[in-house]
Amino acid sequence: MTLDDLLMLKEQQVPPTIVCLCGSTRFAQAFQDANLFETLAGRIVLSIGCNTKSDDDLVRAGVVINKEALDTLHLAKIDLADEVLVLNVGGYVGESTRREVEYAQRLGKCIRWLE
């Protein structure tokens, strides 16, 4: 299939929904599973780029993780998204996720919950 063929198909489709995944980075598998499921459902997925709960290799390598910068970056992802999917595994919603949900609510974003 050529690029022109793909562009023709793209023009015939409704633009995909953009979903931002929010939740505790301790649930890395939930992020992977949701990313796959949402992608296969035809959605564009915005997710975490750094797992600050389990990226011990980064710390051992001397990489400094600026949590506030990552949190701010995630708010920008919510800005871009049409909706937010909260990965509240076992009903858990931490402080950062609560802030993200509050921000999404202020913006009037659709919010879905894993559980």
Residue-wise DSSP of 26-95: T-HHHHHHHHHHHHHTT-EEE--S--TTT-HHHHHTTPPP-HHHHHHHHHHHHHH-SEEEE--GGG---H
Amino acid 62: pLDDT: 74
Question: What pLDDT score was predicted for residue 75?
Answer: 98
- DSSP label at 15? P
pTM for this model (two decimals): 0.88
- Tens digits of pLDDT across the chain (115 residues): 999 999 999 999 999 999 999 999 889 999 999 999 999 999 999 999 876 555 566 666 677 778 888 899 999 999 999 999 999 999 999 999 999 999 999 999 999 999 9
Q: How far apart are CA 7 and CA 22, in angstroms?
A: 31
pLDDT at 65: 75
